[in-house]
Amino acid sequence: MSDSKNKGKAPERREDDNDSSSNSVPSSGGATKKLSAKMLESLMESNPALKNELASMDKETAAKTLANMDVSQLLTGLSLGSTKNQKDMASYKFWQTQPVPRFDDRATQAAAPQGPIKMIDPEKVSKTPDALLEGFEWCTLDLTNENELRELYELLNNHYVEDDNAMFRFAYSQSFLHWALMSPGWKKEWHVGVRATKSRKLVASICGVPTELRVRGDRIKVTEINFLCIHKKLRSKRLAPVLIKEITRRCYLEGIYQAIYTAGIILPTPVSSCRYYHRALDWLKLYEVGFSPLPHGSTKARQISKNHLPSTTATPGLRPMESKDIDAVHDLLERYLLRFDMNQAFTREEIDHWLVYKPQAGKEQVVWAYVVEDPDTHKITDFVSFYNLESTVIDNPKHGVVRAAYLYYYASETAFTEDKSALKSRLQMLMNDALICARQAKFDVFNALTSHDNPLFLEQLKFGAGDGQLHFYLFNYRTAAIAGGINDKNLPDEKKMGGVGVVML
């Protein structure tokens, strides 16, 4: 469930040092972090899943559970006191029934064997969905039908993720949905909807696409779950667990028993957590819509100058990716991704679908990809890509949308030289060129996580820390925690790389 809360927000700092009473929580690195009683209370309110489980424990067990959790999982990515984007999913009563690691399993996870949590007997999988509330019925969306594609587009654009202050909302274009949900091997049955029986209006959705992951050497077929969305007027109807159970049932019927999903809130239990970083491309516009603040003591002119980019790229041989580059990029990317504990295993057909832009009448461009071709050998030595995900600006008199470029996949032959400083230098040049290309394509901001090798260039290229966190989850699969590129201070850390090598839309 790619539900990255506050995905497009400017950084916010929240400090609370007025309460002297505190609780000590050991971090993963062994240091002790102090959480005030007030902050712990806010933390519980922001995470009903955690609150509900702790409430069912005696005090000693609850204290041990808190102690076993990384402080980064407790604090990062949370806007304390907010529940706007929890989408009715956070009740741990539901997650207790699902094959996912429990919060208090963390102490034993390292010793547990990696692999499925529950073995599924295909013969016992129900052939029919659970009943819905009276007045609603299941449907399967046909996204080859322009009318149904438009229905999903309208549902998401009106009811999907907003920031805490209701200033921005994701605006998934129909072209984006076509790209994201009709990848090689896509299954119509995994595009699930709920309709109001009388009006036939689409009021909820959850979707999946098939892919393969490599998790510490194990290759597993999974469903990538996304676009869990419920009409705002139905948020109290507890539809989210029913939607999750239905997409799970449909995946089981196809012989797929694992899934990957993301959320901006903490559910039981993240396999990894990354932080969002933002690089302003049009700082003045971002300031005018309330996305970027004016730092104390600075001026608008100074901020515009600080975020200025060269007009031309610097990497020799950089050019847009073409169909003729598919095999070379596939080979380079596969070798590059093997360096990460959790990564996507691509087929040639998937490289073609996900990375090569093919102009079509009436279709907006969704993905931009560039390769570096050695002028002498004509070998592809590097590539970089990003995709377009706009956000609607709510009630702003001057601007209607923020055009955000999201860093997608990239790779460089320099990674195989075992010279980290050379890779760092190469990626800084390559990513600076990606910023220039995005600016030329009229993007306003460039977003990236702390995944992959991103800590090598985020701060150097003037990316600012966001207040959004993206937590990665594996359904019905257990593995030890995977590094997300951040340390226990929630900052990019080159020593914490090598974990997450997958991008979720």
List, by residue number, the catalytic residues: 505
* Composition of the chain by helix, strand, coil, percent to 5: 30, 25, 45
Q: What is the 3-state secondary structure (H, E, C) of 57-109?
A: CCHHHHHHHHHHCCHHHHHCCCCCCCCCCCCCCCCHHHHCCCCCCCHHHHHHH
* 36 closest CA partner among 25, 47, 50, 49: 25
Residues 214 and 178: their CA atoms lie apart, in Å, by: 25
> What is the torsional sign of CA 206, 212, 215, 220?
positive
CB 95 within 8 A of CB 117: no
Name the token pair of 21. Answer: 């009473």
Structure-token match 């907010």, residue found: 82
What SS3 state is found at 428? helix
Gap between the Cα atoms of 8 and 169, Å rounded = 9
- Confirm if 476 and 434 have CB atoms less than 8 A apart: no
Q: How far is CA 183 from the centre of its chain?
A: 18
Residue given tokens 């400090």 in the structure block: 15
Strand order in the sheet with 401-402: 168-171, 390-393, 401-402
User: What distance in Å separates the CA atoms of residue 180 and residue 454, rounded to the nearest whole number?
Assistant: 23
Q: Report the candidate in 344, 343, 350 with the shortest Cα–Cα distance to residue 327.
A: 350
| Joined tokens for residue 280 | 């302003």
Decide: helix, strand or coil at residue 493.
coil
Residue 414 CB neighbours (<10 A) = 18
